[in-house]
């Protein structure tokens, strides 16, 4: 990688950390009025509006083989995680959700090793074990420094991270001939109909928006989430992936938890000793997994 590309990659990494680190508090604000499935569906439905004109233009670049690939990428990168995170945050603080999201590089490595012939080093195995141990401690941390029962909702974020890791490798090794703008804008077009049908056909979203106090404020937070964390951030992320490796791109999660914890503390969330220990183990494991 040239020096210019390295600098660009680092800048993109920091910007993405700020944007995605803020997404968890935005989800939390949306959940104050709307159900988790509504937050997930609205996030997808709104994101496509920002990139729809661009996506329509880029449709002409595609071959028929690309339709299924971009639909799959959209499901893995946006649709499924949007629902999983919203559901998980009904029982997890936003700061904890942000920390657990740091497992994405681990899943990127695991999927790459299992399906794309990527090297699986000794440090990677140790890092994987340490990171998942940290996620268990994080999900069991209780006040007073002790551990309680495992919060199963943490597994939803682990699954979302697996989706991210799968998508990263899929894009890098199967769809790397397409431009980032094409990938994110067209994949959103392909998955958006599912979100619209579900949101307006199977939920009381419209009724809540018109009749529940604070609904428009919550709606605004989700629009910001859709614009920045879904549309803009994914575009920047695919550009980062284009000029770097999947593991480097997924390392955005090193800085992201700092941002998510900061927003959580500002919003009155309590950060326990067990949370700190779990975060350090996860980040330490990710570091070991990326060690050359």
Digit-coded pLDDT (tens) for 186-201: 999 999 999 999 999 9
Say whether pLDDT at 240 is over 80: yes
Q: What pLDDT band is residue 287 in, cutting at 50, 70 and 90?
A: confident
pLDDT, average across residues 16-25: 92
Residue matched to tokens 């682990």 = 158
Under 8 Å between Cβ of 44 and 192: yes
Greater confidence, 268 or 246? 268
Task: Give every CB contact of residue 138 below 8 A, 6+ residues apart in sequence.
Answer: 96, 99, 100, 154, 274, 275, 278, 279, 282
Half-sphere exposure of 123 (CA within 13 A, CB side): 9
228-250 CB burial, b ≥16 within 10 A, e <16: bbbbbbbbbbbbbbbbbbbbbbb
Q: Say which residue, 60 or 3, is predicted with more confidence.
A: 60
Per-residue pLDDT at 221: 97
The answer, yes or no, to whether residue 250 has pLDDT greater than 70, is no
The pLDDT, as a whole number, for residue 121 is: 73
**Buried/exposed code over 163-187 (b: 16+ C-beta within 10 A; e: otherwise):** bbbbbbbbbbeebeebebbbbbbbb
pLDDT in tens, 107-124: 988 898 888 887 777 788
Q: What is the pLDDT of residues 150-184, one digit of tens each?
A: 899 999 999 999 999 999 899 988 898 888 889 98
Contact between 256 and 105 (Cβ < 8 Å): no
- Average pLDDT of the segment spanning 124-147: 82
Residue 61: what pLDDT?
Answer: 84
**Per-residue tokens: 182:** 């094409």
Residue 200: strand, helix, or coil: helix
Q: How far apart are CA 145 and CA 126, in angstroms?
A: 25
Q: Is 99 exposed, middle or buried (0-12, 13-18, 19+ CB in 10 A)?
A: buried
pLDDT at residue 144, as a whole number: 57
pLDDT at res. 189: 96
What whole-number distance in Å separates Cα of residue 153 and Cα of residue 165?
Answer: 19
Q: What's the Cα-to-Cα distance from 257 to each of 23, 75, 254, 273, rounded to whole Å?
A: 11, 24, 7, 15
Cα(167)–Cα(139) distance, rounded to whole angstroms? Answer: 25
> H helices of the chain, where?
3-30, 36-58, 64-74, 80-88, 94-100, 104-115, 122-140, 154-174, 180-202, 205-211, 215-224, 233-243, 246-250, 256-266, 273-290
């Amino acid at each position: 990688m040239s020096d210019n590309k390295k600098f660009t990659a680092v800048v993109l990494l920091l910007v993405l950390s700020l944007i995605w680190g803020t997404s968890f508090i935005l989800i939390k604000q949306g959940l104050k009025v709307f159900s988790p499935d509504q937050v997930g569906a609205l996030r997808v439905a709104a994101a496509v509006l920002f990139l729809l004109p661009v996506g329509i233009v880029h449709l002409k670049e595609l071959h028929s083989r690309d339709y299924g690939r971009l639909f799959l990428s959209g499901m893995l990168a946006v649709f499924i995680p949007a629902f999983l995170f919203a559901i998980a945050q009904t029982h997890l603080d936003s700061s904890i959700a942000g920390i657990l999201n740091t497992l994405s590089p681990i899943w990127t490595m695991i999927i790459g090793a299992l399906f794309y012939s990527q090297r699986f080093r000794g440090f990677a195995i140790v890092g994987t074990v340490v990171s998942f141990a940290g996620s268990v401690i994080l999900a069991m941390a209780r006040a007073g420094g002790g551990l309680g029962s495992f919060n199963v909702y943490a597994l939803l974020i682990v699954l979302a991270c697996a989706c991210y890791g799968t998508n990263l490798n899929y894009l890098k090794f199967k769809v790397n001939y397409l431009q980032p703008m094409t990938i994110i804008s067209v994949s959103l077009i392909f998955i958006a109909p599912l979100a619209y049908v579900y949101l307006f056909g199977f939920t009381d979203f419209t009724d809540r928006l018109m009749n529940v106090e604070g609904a428009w404020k919550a709606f605004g937070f989700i629009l910001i989430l859709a614009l920045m964390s879904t549309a803009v951030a994914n575009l920047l992320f695919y550009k980062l992936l284009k000029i770097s490796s999947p593991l480097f791109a997924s390392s955005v999660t090193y800085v992201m938890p700092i941002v998510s914890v900061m927003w959580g503390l500002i919003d009155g969330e309590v950060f326990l000793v067990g949370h700190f220990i779990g975060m350090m183990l996860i980040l330490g494991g990710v570091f070991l997994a990326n060690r050359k």
